[in-house]
Amino acid sequence: MTDTFTVADLKRMLLACAGADEGVDLDGDILDRRFDELGYESLAVLETGRLIERELGITLPDAALTESDTPRALIDAVNARLSRNGAEHAAPA
């Protein structure tokens, strides 16, 4: 399992789940652009979220997917879950 979920990870998963709209440059600065501006409707974000869960072995709260309206918000939610899972599985000191 990975320690950090990155924008590159998210781009790869978005493309795998929903492709990319013509005219949208995912290689540009997309962190604070809304998913709908990038051509991704809520269903595409939900599908991407399920792929994230499968690949990373985590469970995201529904709110993390429905309320994350930008890549930065979703990346932060995923990394928060990864940190929480890491802390839960850490060996006691």
**What's this model's pTM, rounded to 2 decimal places?**
0.87
Q: What is the CA radius of gyration of the chain?
A: 14
Q: What is the pLDDT of residue 76?
A: 97
Q: What is the pLDDT of residues 11-62, one digit of tens each?
A: 999 999 988 877 778 888 999 999 999 999 999 999 999 999 999 999 999 8
Once rounded to an integer, what is the mean pLDDT over residues 77-90? 81
Q: Nearest 5°: CA angle at 83, between 78 and 85?
A: 95
Q: How many CB atoms neighbour CB 44 within 10 A?
A: 17
Q: What is the pLDDT of residue 19?
A: 87
Q: What is the pLDDT of residue 2?
A: 59
Q: How many helices (H) and strands (E) does the chain have?
A: 4, 0
Domains and CATH numbers, the chain: 7-88 (1.10.1200.10)
Once rounded to an integer, what is the mean pLDDT over residues 65-73? 95
